[in-house]
Structure 1
Amino acid sequence: MEQWVYQVEQWKNEVEEWIYRQPVEQLYVAVGIVFLTFIFFVLLRLLKRTKSNTIVFAGLSGSGKTTLFYQLRDGSSHQGTVTSMDPNEGTFILQSELEKNKKINPVHMVDVPGHSRLRLKLDEYLPQTAGLVFVVDALDFLPNLRAAAEYLYDILTNTIVVKRKVPVLILCNKTDKVTAHTKDFIRKQLEKEIDKLRISRTAISTADIANGHTLGMPGEAFVFSQCVNKVMVAEASGLTGNVSQVEQFIREYVRQ
């Protein structure tokens, strides 16, 4: 034991002598490199740890969010479900990926109730959201255009969505029906309605002024490409299982 203590003491003395022989500037550089390396690895671990796997579904009641949720989870439509007072939530591997012979990251999916009094629950999930799917009823779109545009406007001007640049997919559901509107028609109508909203709301100094975020460019008609976050439009049919475009969106932001 005494021999080991002596050896350690000898090593300590040699290290101290080596340090005293080094120029002060060189020591500062060495300490700085070690410190920066340590900070880099800490930040890298934190970024990996906080990478989100949450996808949030939002939209008006009756748009088909819950049907899409179950199609993605287990390939069934679960028709006849009723509006819940709480979000429909689960963590799972997408149904279409179950038979793949490789490790796949599960998705944490949240179906937020569409009733106006329950939409505040959306704010609870936005801080950890990797992507948001805004579901639109393509069949009964025009009667609900104003309400859908107002809800989408509130999402696109939400402080968290803007600061985190949360990607948004406008998903036109029920496109299997012959009388359903196309995604291009829905996109143009939503842009026109949001353009009216941003003008009227800015004029009376309401939501935009309060949260510091505005949509569009002054003097130009609003289009989704002007948003700071990426806004895309796609089609789906929850009842028939045509959900490939929303799966593609999910896997773009929640890696396998």
Structure 2
Amino acid sequence: MDADTGSTAPQITPEVVPVMPATPIFTSQTLTIAAFSLAVACLAILIFFTRRKSRSKGNLLLLVGPPDAGKTAILSTLVYNQTLPTHTSLQTNVSTVALPEVKKTLTVVDIPGHPRIRDQVSEYIGDAKAIAFVVDASTVSRNGPAVAEHLHIILNALTSLPPSQVLPSLVILAHKSDLLKSGTAASATSESLAINRVKTILERELEKRRASQSGGVGVEGLGEEGERTEMGGLECSGEKGVFRFDAWEGGEVLFLGTSVKVGQGVQEEEKTDTDGLSSLRQWMGDA
């Protein structure tokens, strides 16, 4: 009862609402899933742009091979349409070759074959679109081990590229094919004889290197430098993994027979249908 008015008012008791603990929006499980999803997304983006970059790179043709194989003569013929007299080079030559048939140009890098310089291929191979390994078909019978050693370096460099890198195309040029006589078979051309000789000898010598490595003794005394090496790059599918270019796990290897004549222009050669680099030009246009 109110003392002043004498009226009676109901007593209101405030309702107490129990306070419940707030449920956390992000649990440890939720955070883990989110972090994992973010990591996967970032990795996918990184792989996409890495592959995109690697596929967009590469406008170089590398001319590699032993000394005196004819690399510089090939380069001068491609650039000037005339084979100029050359000498053993100890520095890298870089020139641009026009391919009017396919309306494009290709930068050609001639890397010397001297053992102390040939490793420069590693500086260019990441930007290479194609590699031409030049072999003197007229002398490969006597210097096969040294040529195979050099080619082994190239094959190892190719198979050592990152998985995201598109491997450059590889062609082996059986050069100076015009020096071989086709008297052994009436239907055989000098180019086919050169290819068969180079391919047979290189497969034999590379198999020696592969077998030596698989035996756990490394490769020793099989090359020009006589150095021991544990390089890879000779893996092949098939029975016992015997080295064969057709079974090489690094990809397809093409063989072409080529030749040039010092002092003779391409236009002059075309009159007799003896342009010794026509197959190489076609390959360069398709590469």
TM-score for both structures, normalised by structure 1: 0.71
Opposite residue 237 of structure 1, the aligned amino acid is S
Call closer, same or farther: CA 1:231–1:162 in 2, change over 3 Å: farther
1:57–1:112 contact (8 Å) kept in structure 2: yes
Opposite residue 173 of structure 1, the aligned amino acid is H
Opposite residue 226 of structure 1, the aligned amino acid is A
Provide Cα deviations, 1:127-169, integer angstroms capped at 9, x if missing partner.
Answer: 0011110001011121111111111122112244585432210
How far, CA to CA, are the matches of 1:214 and 1:127 in structure 2?
20
Call closer, same or farther: CA 1:214–1:137 in 2, change over 3 Å: closer
**Alignment match, 1:16:** none
Q: Which has the larger radius of gyration?
A: 2
Gaps of 5+ in 2: 1-40, 182-189, 220-227, 262-268, 270-274
Identity %: 27
Write out aligned runs for 1:57-96 (5 A): 57-79=63-85, 81-94=86-99
2:62–2:128 contact (8 Å) kept in structure 1: yes
Question: Which one scores higher on RCO, CA 8 angstroms, separation ≥ 6?
Answer: 1
Provide Cα deviations, 1:210-238, integer angstroms capped at 9, x if missing partner.
Answer: 66654224614321122222211110002
Call closer, same or farther: CA 1:160–1:71 in 2, change over 3 Å: farther
Aligned residue for 1:182, secondary structure, equals helix
Equivalent pairs counted in the alignment come to: 209
Stretch deviating more after TM superposition (151-160 or 61-70)? 151-160
Gaps of 5+ in 1: 1-34
Provide Cα deviations, 1:83-127, integer angstroms capped at 9, x if missing partner.
Answer: 232211112314xx3xx5x8x221010010011111111111100
* Alignment of 1:246 onto 2:280: yes
How far, CA to CA, are the matches of 1:151 and 1:246 in structure 2?
21
Aligned residue for 1:107, secondary structure, equals strand
Opposite residue 246 of structure 2, the aligned amino acid is S
How far, CA to CA, are the matches of 1:225 and 1:160 in structure 2?
20
Write out aligned runs for 1:36-51 (5 A): 43=49, 47=53, 50-51=56-57
Q: CA RMSD in A?
A: 3.1
* Alignment of 1:139 onto 2:145: no
Aligned residue for 1:71, secondary structure, equals helix
Call closer, same or farther: CA 1:48–1:59 in 2, change over 3 Å: closer
* Alignment of 1:226 onto 2:225: no
Provide Cα deviations, 1:190-215, integer angstroms capped at 9, x if missing partner.
Answer: 11111111111233365899666542
**Alignment match, 1:172:** 174
The 4+ residue runs of structure 1 with deviation greater than 3 A are: 42-49, 159-164, 178-181, 204-214
How far, CA to CA, are the matches of 1:60 and 1:67 in structure 2?
13
Call closer, same or farther: CA 1:122–1:49 in 2, change over 3 Å: closer
How far, CA to CA, are the matches of 1:196 and 1:87 in structure 2?
31
1:202–1:209 contact (8 Å) kept in structure 2: no
How far, CA to CA, are the matches of 2:116 and 2:110 in structure 1?
15
Call closer, same or farther: CA 1:140–1:110 in 2, change over 3 Å: same
TM-score for both structures, normalised by structure 2: 0.64
Call closer, same or farther: CA 1:173–1:162 in 2, change over 3 Å: farther
How far, CA to CA, are the matches of 1:200 and 1:45 in structure 2?
36
**Alignment match, 1:117:** 116
Equivalent of 2:213 in 181, 194, 201 = 201
* Alignment of 1:236 onto 2:263: no
Aligned residue for 1:197, secondary structure, equals helix
Aligned residue for 2:116, secondary structure, equals helix
Call closer, same or farther: CA 1:199–1:52 in 2, change over 3 Å: same
Aligned residue for 2:240, secondary structure, equals coil
**Alignment match, 1:128:** 127
Equivalent of 2:236 in 207, 216, 235 = 216
* Alignment of 1:108 onto 2:107: yes
Higher helix share: 1
**Alignment match, 2:201:** 189
**Alignment match, 1:9:** none
